[in-house]
Structure 1
Amino acid sequence: MTGPGEQLTLAGLPVPRARRRPRASTGPVVPAEVDPVARVAIDLPPPHLDRPFEYLVPATLAEAAVPGTRVKVRFGGQDVDGYVLARVEEAEHDGALVPLRKVVSAEPVLAPAVLRLARAVADRYAGTLADVLRLALPSRHARVEAEDAGIDAVPTSVAVSPSATAWTPYRGGPAFLQHLGAGGSPRAVLSALPGPVGADWATAVAQAVAATVLGGRGALVVVPDARDVDRVCAALADVGVPAWSRGTRGGVVRLMADDGPAARYRSFLAARRGLAPVVVGTRASAFAPVADLGLVVCWDDGDPLHAEPRAPYPHVREVLALRAELEGTGLLVAAHARTVEAQVLVESGWARQVVADRAQVRARTPRVQALTSVELAREGAAAAARLPAPAWRALRDALVHGPVLVQVPRAGYVPAVACGRCRTIARCTTCHGPLGLDRADGTPTCRWCGRLATGWRCGECGDAALRSVRVGSERTAEELGRAFPQIPVRVSGARAAAGVLASVPDSPALVVSTPGAEPVAPLGYAAAVLLDAAVATAGTSLRASEDALRRWMTAAALVRPIGEGGQVLLVGDAAPRPTQALVRWDPVGFAARELAERVELALPPAVRTATVRGPRDAVTAVLGRLVLPEGSDVLGPVPVDDDGGGAVRRGTDSLDPDVRALVRVPRAGGPALTRTLAASLAVRSARREGGTVRTQVDAPEPV
């Protein structure tokens, strides 16, 4: 028998498929005459593949395969996506090069500045270039690419107003704008004052952008959500920067996923082709390819929407700070409150703070009163009411003059219930999740698994009665509607029937909102009542007080100033420090004290951190390869707490439960931490070590 043996198959088993071989080329590939070698970043996630690969550029693709274009290449026996990073004359690889399969699009979507930024972000967060490029570049839309291709754009009429009245109340504000207009690159942290439409934060941002455009450069503004995009675009139109339109050059484009893939890609190409010098968008727009960039702006950097939930989990503030360094642009980090990270920029001297004098603060802010148990002691038993008598009187009196805002920290009807007899939290009998009510006559529903808890009885005392533990926005609106039957009640929130409202008229109305969903009243609210203040600061999070103050100040900034009768009531015994910061309207002092304490206790952002989560053996292997700088320490590993409240620990009965470790290094050792962590992950990827490991550098909540 001279031939190979035949592999027999058993009856009933499927016959193995014959492996398909790639078709051979019809002849030798003729390389490009100029720069025949392309360095390509392949779109594959393994960390050990995070480097450029060299491919031969066929002569037929020489003109199309320019740096920045999307291509198809052969890798590991399959066609994969990639981007041409550069074209060179000679290859570093000694062997024969595989030719490019094809150029997907001749549009150079990856700008050189964006490539440098993406590489810097990947290094900053111990991630890969492929992961960052997925965040930076929108999906291709072929029909949009063909629009206006090769057509000379007509310059649009842009009459930018040089007015800077919104910056006059701030120390250093006019100088900041003059520096931008002269082509400088100032870096500022702005503590924005409250103000009505036309004198608010959006107007200040628009005037800074206008100064940059007058200086002949572009600008990029990143905000948390679509409502803020609309506000900034409207303010830009008021100062003479209109929306960009097809076939023209000049104006502003919106870059956000909510507009749909075609509109988003159209805006992206307008910026990439240099047709729109101003971009306003949400998180992913931090990588927008703005030509001749002169200013980057981050509004409300403490909003959790600025933190990317996908690997490598970058934060908009840090991305824009890196971009300002790499491209030499101006930077503006602005908010009503101030994050501890923004305070680090100020105290390190990397940026200057722009704040108003106390006289301006007092004139522009409402009167703030904290209704704590001490303040309400004279009310007797009524002091324990969720909405005490002073708050009721404030609502009644303010409704005569305009709308009133009521902020409730939780959405829904009754998010949590307890046993009516023993006060034990009511939990699902299947998954032990908390029970809640969606309406007054509804059946309790599990917030985790969604099961109806029909026939529920307390596991402690056997009673079937339920009482509310936390009251949501829907129940609050229902109670206020009964108390003020002649006044319209509007609810704003992601789970509300009308969704998140962008604005409300200036007529009398009760506006019940969850944090972050407060609509704008053109002339400002007559008053605001911030309910359940104790709930906002009761968590164990490192940022509980900081986040509470930011949410309170965001709502209070929508209220009319004290000279027009505006007042804010904070109801509940919240933590003293954020309460006093709100009453004094002193976010800078609060952030400075928070930072001083974190420096003393070696907590972020005074130190750099990295969390490693996964099976114990996998986490131990990753940690064992780290070479950490002096002064570093490793905390853990400890079992992962799934619900964040200590009730359920994932996998405690399994053979390999998930654990979490925290690596902490001095702030100066941050680059060394990310380098060694990336190297350890690359080794893990190359060895194909088992288990799923998730790493995150400088997580918003590292513990």
Structure 2
Amino acid sequence: MALNGDSPEQLTLLRETVRRSRTKEPAGITETLPVARVAVDVSLPHLDRPFDYLVPDDLADAAQPGARVKVRFAGKDLDGFVLDRLATSEHDGKLSRIRKVVSPEQVLTPEVADLCRAVADRYAGVFADVTRLAVPPRLAKVEAEALRCNQPVRPVSSTSLSEWAPYPRAEGFLDAVRREEAPRAIWTAVPGADWALAFAQAAAVCASTGRGALLLAPDARDLERLAAACAKVLGRDGFVTLSADLGPTARYRAFITALRGCTRVVIGTRAAAFAPVSNLGLVALWDDGDDSYAEPRAPYPHAREVLLLRAYRQQCAALLGGFARSAETAALLESGWAAELIAERTVIRAAAPSVHIAGESDRDLARDPAARAARLPHQAFEVAREGLRTGPVLVQVPRAGYLPSLVCQTCRTPSRCSTCGGSLRRTGSSGPASCSVCGRPATDHRCPECGDTRMRAAVVGARRTAEELGRAFPGVLVRTSGGDHMLDQIPDQPALIVTTPGAEPVPEKGYSAALLLDTWLLLARPDLRAPEEAVRRWFNAAAMVRSARDGGQVIMMGEPSATPLQAVVRWSPEGFATRELDERRAARLAPAAKLAELVGASEAVADMVARVRQLVDPAAGLEVLGPVDVDDETVRAVVRTPRAYGSALARVLKEALSARGTKKLAGPLRVQVDPATFG
């Protein structure tokens, strides 16, 4: 029906004319490097590659490598990063245009993009998942801020490196940093060392050459200590803190500050491992065994491995420090990849407290026959009472909430599978215990220490301990630290400080004594890393105690012959780490072997195992452990190869995941390479 005398055909023509007049003609394609290689934000393994797009002339200046863009992909507008600008494309078909430059800020630097690719390959992950860890969400108001860039170059004298004086090889390491070389070191700190100040001094040496430094601490409390030390050495404006706990605005501001080269030193937690530090000269990480460094999001990278990859690819210095030593750092020393920074034995013994195991001597047993079995023997009460005369006393109690695990009924030695060394568990009220790794029933289990066939569950009671101590020491202040209530620092006055491992507050002048209770509980965790983790926590706690010449004492409640406890008594973290590495090598476990954990629906795990078997080189010596049931709907299998075939295994896992993605096979599946916990 015509309106105002116009026919329907005329109305259609009129609408088309109006539409064309309102539609802006698309800009032409730029003549200079008209192709942009874009990493699209897609987490599908079979699409884990860059795609080429045309660069419109009006976006040519902003669409530089590292900039955020919007592109059309699979019928949707998706985010992405420009990786490169090219003159031509290898793609034969028609290319789409970049639809929008979200921000001209080049937030993904070439060095970090290269690192993200390396991390994704190492962990059989996807580039897009790693960039989400590396680049925080954009805040336009922060990018619009005018940041003050203050980079004073302070000369560093040998007298200002006091924390490194006890280590004979430290001077050579720092001199190499001054010469802008790439030394690598594993630092075992003496008891009571101010590690934060030592890190700040090393960063100052690096910054004095005009290069950048990246320092990582495991948690917010340690980061505060590191920030205070850096403020003392570098000045308040000499560094920036980058941590996920800062909140979106403060975190992005710190990120942009580092990106624009407004500071030479960046400190942070796990989230800072990918920080865009300009002209990076040093990466350093404290206490690499802390599980806070393990990323809980895919592809689950460990901050230590990220920094080691970064040191290798950017040819900068690397420093891993701690009071204890992990099997991974022991492997780095054994391979020659890193040098050892450790004090002379006489210096270590002079700084260490006196460490004893309750009931280890005949004299202790004569005075208290139940010393080895009692949770708080008479000797521990005596040490606590004596320590309270001069200062605070630390009482460390294993935290509650570990997964079910079994220990010997008589001697409480952790029960392990005789086939693969995994922790034994009981999943029901009837039937024998079984291995949590390979699933083998432990019908013939016998304790290797005492020969008992009986097993029991491990239990913890931290709060009850505080109540018992309060009754045993009337009138003494009892404070707790752990969980949601954490103490940061405590004054130098008599008090009983009951903490869970890792929650120990920093004493003003050191603890006068420490009681490490229920040591067998830490060793009984259902994790093959349990002994290493227990020793790390004990060394960290004991290192806060005053030296023996100042009256500092540590009493450990446990089996005197246990190797982990003896390592603390001898104050030999390096010896224990070497022994742990040898045992891992004999059992074909990380870091001597490359492991990957497959968790998901039974059909998905079985399909993945079959694909890996088909793709892997027969010479790689692939082994499959399991699968075992995790719950009613989930199973777990572990695949492993010798370390030399680690890169090949990661590549095969990625290919298998890509094949599953291409065929759109159903079923949830998680692949985790070198999981932080295993058992």
Q: Is the 8 A contact 1:536 1:574 kept in 2?
A: no
3-state SS, counterpart of residue 89 of structure 2? coil
**CA separation of 1:25 and 1:480: change in aligned 2, threshold 3 A:** farther
**CA separation of 1:51 and 1:505: change in aligned 2, threshold 3 A:** same
- 2: CA distance, partners of 1:360 / 1:373: 26
Is 1:175 aligned to residue 172 of structure 2?
Answer: yes
- 1: CA distance, partners of 2:137 / 2:208: 32
State the match for 1:377 in structure 2. Answer: 365
State the match for 1:388 in structure 2. Answer: 377
Q: Which structure carries more helix by proportion? A: 2
Of stretches 24-33 and 547-556 in structure 1, the one that deviates more from structure 2 is 24-33
- 2: CA distance, partners of 1:266 / 1:109: 12
Of stretches 384-393 and 632-641 in structure 1, the one that deviates more from structure 2 is 632-641
CA shift for structure 1 position 470: 3.8
State the match for 1:517 in structure 2. Answer: 503
Is 1:410 aligned to residue 408 of structure 2?
Answer: no
Q: Is the 8 A contact 1:405 1:525 kept in 2?
A: yes
Q: Structure 1, residues 462-485: CA drift from partner, whole Å, max 9, x if none?
A: xxxxxx984433222222222223
Of stretches 505-514 and 537-546 in structure 1, the one that deviates more from structure 2 is 537-546
- 2: CA distance, partners of 1:48 / 1:531: 51
2:599 to 591, 613, 616: 613
Q: How does 1:432-511 map to 2 (within 5 A)?
A: 470-495=459-484, 499-511=485-497
2:307 to 320, 328, 347: 320
- 2: CA distance, partners of 1:578 / 1:60: 66
CA shift for structure 1 position 624: 2.5
Is 1:679 aligned to residue 677 of structure 2?
Answer: no
**CA separation of 1:155 and 1:690: change in aligned 2, threshold 3 A:** closer
Unaligned 5+ runs, structure 1: 1-23, 245-250, 417-431, 435-467, 642-649, 652-656
**CA separation of 1:97 and 1:553: change in aligned 2, threshold 3 A:** same
Q: Is the 8 A contact 1:640 1:658 kept in 2?
A: yes
Q: Is the 8 A contact 2:598 2:669 kept in 1?
A: yes
CA shift for structure 1 position 616: 2.7
Of stretches 607-616 and 345-354 in structure 1, the one that deviates more from structure 2 is 607-616
**CA separation of 1:116 and 1:382: change in aligned 2, threshold 3 A:** closer
State the match for 1:445 in structure 2. Answer: none
State the match for 2:281 in structure 1. Answer: 294
Is 1:343 aligned to residue 343 of structure 2?
Answer: no
State the match for 2:422 in structure 1. Answer: none
Q: How does 1:569-584 map to 2 (within 5 A)?
A: 569-573=555-559, 576-584=562-570
Query: 1:377 is matched by which residue type in structure 2?
Result: L
Unaligned 5+ runs, structure 2: 1-21, 406-426, 430-456
Of stretches 45-54 and 627-636 in structure 1, the one that deviates more from structure 2 is 627-636
Query: 1:614 is matched by which residue type in structure 2?
Result: G
- 1: CA distance, partners of 2:561 / 2:121: 38
- 1: CA distance, partners of 2:369 / 2:281: 59
State the match for 1:465 in structure 2. Answer: none
CA shift for structure 1 position 285: 0.5
Is 1:141 aligned to residue 127 of structure 2?
Answer: no
State the match for 2:441 in structure 1. Answer: none
Q: Structure 1, residues 636-663: CA drift from partner, whole Å, max 9, x if none?
A: 442323xxxxxxxx12xxxxx4322221
- 1: CA distance, partners of 2:359 / 2:143: 59
Of stretches 609-618 and 397-406 in structure 1, the one that deviates more from structure 2 is 609-618
State the match for 1:186 in structure 2. Answer: 183
- 1: CA distance, partners of 2:539 / 2:572: 10
Is 1:280 aligned to residue 267 of structure 2?
Answer: yes
Q: How does 1:253-272 map to 2 (within 5 A)?
A: 253-272=240-259
Identity of aligned residues (%): 51
State the match for 2:222 in structure 1. Answer: 228
Query: 1:482 is matched by which residue type in structure 2?
Result: R
State the match for 2:38 in structure 1. Answer: 40
Q: Is the 8 A contact 1:29 1:99 kept in 2?
A: no
Is 1:667 aligned to residue 643 of structure 2?
Answer: yes
Q: Structure 1, residues 324-349: CA drift from partner, whole Å, max 9, x if none?
A: 00000000011111000000100000
- 1: CA distance, partners of 2:75 / 2:361: 72
Is 1:201 aligned to residue 188 of structure 2?
Answer: no
TM, length-normalised to structure 1: 0.82
- 2: CA distance, partners of 1:269 / 1:62: 23
Q: Is the 8 A contact 1:526 1:567 kept in 2?
A: yes
Q: Is the 8 A contact 1:610 1:702 kept in 2?
A: no
Q: Is the 8 A contact 1:66 1:86 kept in 2?
A: yes
CA shift for structure 1 position 394: 0.8
2:521 to 535, 549, 561: 535
- 2: CA distance, partners of 1:85 / 1:181: 33
Superposition CA RMSD, Å = 2.2
**CA separation of 1:161 and 1:97: change in aligned 2, threshold 3 A:** same
Q: Is the 8 A contact 1:194 1:201 kept in 2?
A: no
TM, length-normalised to structure 2: 0.85
CA shift for structure 1 position 76: 1.0
CA shift for structure 1 position 61: 1.1
State the match for 1:628 in structure 2. Answer: 616
Is 1:309 aligned to residue 309 of structure 2?
Answer: no
CA shift for structure 1 position 100: 1.2
Of stretches 666-675 and 156-165 in structure 1, the one that deviates more from structure 2 is 156-165
3-state SS, counterpart of residue 101 of structure 1? strand
Query: 2:173 is matched by which residue type in structure 1?
Result: F
Q: Is the 8 A contact 1:609 1:698 kept in 2?
A: yes
Query: 1:33 is matched by which residue type in structure 2?
Result: E
Of stretches 72-81 and 484-493 in structure 1, the one that deviates more from structure 2 is 484-493
Q: Structure 1, residues 250-273: CA drift from partner, whole Å, max 9, x if none?
A: x11111111111111111111000
State the match for 1:17 in structure 2. Answer: none
Is 1:691 aligned to residue 679 of structure 2?
Answer: no
- 2: CA distance, partners of 1:301 / 1:574: 27
State the match for 1:60 in structure 2. Answer: 58
State the match for 1:216 in structure 2. Answer: 210
Q: Structure 1, residues 306-332: CA drift from partner, whole Å, max 9, x if none?
A: 111111111111111100000000000
Of stretches 269-278 and 693-702 in structure 1, the one that deviates more from structure 2 is 693-702
State the match for 1:564 in structure 2. Answer: 550
- 1: CA distance, partners of 2:634 / 2:318: 40
3-state SS, counterpart of residue 611 of structure 1? strand
Q: Structure 1, residues 491-547: CA drift from partner, whole Å, max 9, x if none?
A: 11123xxx2111101111111111111110121110111111111112342111111
Q: Is the 8 A contact 1:607 1:665 kept in 2?
A: yes
Query: 1:602 is matched by which residue type in structure 2?
Result: R
3-state SS, counterpart of residue 380 of structure 1? coil
1:555 to 520, 523, 541: 541
Q: Is the 8 A contact 1:406 1:531 kept in 2?
A: yes
CA shift for structure 1 position 176: 1.1
Aligned length: 602
State the match for 2:439 in structure 1. Answer: none
**CA separation of 1:58 and 1:486: change in aligned 2, threshold 3 A:** same
Is 1:242 aligned to residue 235 of structure 2?
Answer: yes
State the match for 2:423 in structure 1. Answer: none
CA shift for structure 1 position 686: 1.2
CA shift for structure 1 position 702: 4.0
Q: Is the 8 A contact 2:200 2:230 kept in 1?
A: yes
Of stretches 221-230 and 591-600 in structure 1, the one that deviates more from structure 2 is 591-600
State the match for 2:339 in structure 1. Answer: 352
Q: Is the 8 A contact 2:400 2:459 kept in 1?
A: no
Q: Is the 8 A contact 2:358 2:372 kept in 1?
A: no
**CA separation of 1:383 and 1:128: change in aligned 2, threshold 3 A:** closer
**CA separation of 1:433 and 1:600: change in aligned 2, threshold 3 A:** closer
**CA separation of 1:25 and 1:116: change in aligned 2, threshold 3 A:** farther
State the match for 1:10 in structure 2. Answer: none
Is 1:166 aligned to residue 163 of structure 2?
Answer: yes
